[in-house]
Amino acid sequence: MRIRRVLAFSTLIICISVHGHFSPAYQAQSVGDSRVYVRLVTDEAEAVLAILSKRKANQTLTAEDWQRLFSSEGYTRLKRRETAMQRSFTDDEFKSFILSDKLSANAPALAETLKQWKQVKVDSAAHRSLAYLPKEAHIQAKIYPVIKPRENSFVFEVNTDPAIFLYLDPAKTKEQFENTLAHELHHIGYGSSCPAKLVADEIAKQPKNIQSLINWIGAFGEGFAMLAAAGGPNIHPHKYSKPEDRARWDRDMANFNDDLKKVEKFFLDILDNKLSEEERQKAGMSFFGVQGPWYTVGWKMSVVIEKSYGRAKLVECICDQRKLLPTYNQAATRYNRKARDPLAVWSDDLIKTLRKIYHQPRQHRAEMA
């Protein structure tokens, strides 16, 4: 939950040549499903590349060129977001960035990246996301490819007018772009459907430390999104990544058992009221990292649950965080019976607490064992 973060956290496309030709600023792609409406808003990047194209051709830039940029939807929403983050973001500062020699030199690569990214079918990314969401989930979002000084991506105004801002990165292939998009669309879809009102009402009745625990368990949504973006439990989540990113993930996965126990200590400290709000935030945010335990442990738990009990059971756990850890423990216990390298499981104290607040029937537990 890398671009954003939708828990604390709260996770396109244009075609313009270096000669200045551009496609319409808005494109909509549908998956043939009323649950999905994704609009690609391209006006900011188009306006930037049009300016770069004129500079390359030694043509005079006009007030209309700058007005086109500064009045674009992508730019105005980007400016609103940066201002909300209390970052300096003025038209004059952005103009200096656009006119920098570094950006001008990068214009051909940006144009080629847009050409490649446009070949991505957004419906494929949406289908991947919906496959790991409940049937009532829907995905509505505007997706903005942006050329800007900060090389970050993020989601914005998820609860009102969901937007995904993606930094236009020439180092990102179309396959990597599609994976990132699917990851972020899963977050958007999750926010539309999880948890169900009944579950949310039950959680709201719990003591503050229990509510905090369940909220932080929701950070494993990063692992869910990794699985959804990959397309299944047998597909490496970094299949299309750079070799160094895949190697980092594999190294971190080798530390799964230790990382699970580190997160467990955090959870138990919350239960025991040992942490102030500031300490909880600091500790919880530390597990994001580049792709830290919220990603790796979350992904591994998701894979073990899906392979043991099927995707429907995993989706149930995704949407009711109270069930995630107990269900993983049951799946891991089954896995460990035959495993050469057993998986760590969550402590009995933690599992007992979670089971008490969703009242899992004894018969159901026996059926899953």
What would the pLDDT profile of 119-163 be if each residue is shown by its tens digit?
888 878 888 999 999 999 999 889 999 999 999 988 899 888 999
Rounded Cα distance between 102 and 322, Å, is: 50
| Three-state secondary-structure class, residue 138 | coil
Residues above pLDDT 90, as percent of the chain: 74
263 or 356: which carries more pLDDT confidence? 263
Stretch (H or E) spanning 247: helix 243-253
Contact 237, 227 (CB under 8 A): yes
- List CB contacts of 1: < 8 A, sequence separation 6 or more: 7, 9, 10, 11, 187, 190, 219, 221, 222, 225, 294
Q: pLDDT confidence of 359, banded at 50, 70, 90?
A: low
34 or 277: which carries more pLDDT confidence? 277
Rounded Cα distance between 175 and 238, Å, is: 10
Q: pLDDT confidence of 99, banded at 50, 70, 90?
A: very high
pLDDT at residue 346, rounded to an integer: 98
Rounded Cα distance between 364 and 323, Å, is: 12
Distance set, CA 189 to CA 128, 158, 237, 353 (Å): 11, 10, 19, 28
Nearest-10 crossing angle of helices 256-271, 348-356: 60
Q: Average pLDDT, stretch 75-98?
A: 96
Parallel, antiparallel, or unpaired for β 26-29 and 36-41? antiparallel
pLDDT for 7 beyond 80: no
